[in-house]
């Protein structure tokens, strides 16, 4: 990407990054982190 000065990032996470479900705090937090990282890059 750096050499070509272009590229694309494909985000793959889960809808659960936006809504939570009981007893899945760690999983949901990791998906939310992926969504936040990609949002900060755009």
Helix (H) or strand (E) holding 36: helix 25-41
Structure tokens of 26?
């760690």
State pLDDT tens for residues 1-32. 889 999 888 888 777 777 778 888 888 888 88
Q: Grade residue 41 by pLDDT with cuts at 50, 70 and 90.
A: confident
Cα three-residue angle 18-1-36, rounded to 5 degrees: 15
At 6 the pLDDT is 92
> For 36, phi and psi rounded to 5 degrees?
-65, -40
> CA-to-CA distance for 40 and 42, rounded, in angstroms?
6
If one compares 13 and 37, the residue with the highest pLDDT of the two is 37
Q: Identify the pLDDT of residue 5.
A: 92
pTM for this entry = 0.63
Q: Where are the domains of the chain?
A: 1-42
């Amino acid at each position: 990407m750096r050499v070509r000065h272009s590229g694309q990032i494909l985000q793959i996470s889960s809808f659960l990054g936006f809504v939570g479900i009981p007893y899945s705090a760690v999983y949901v937090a990791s998906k939310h982190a992926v969504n936040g990282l990609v949002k900060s890059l755009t």
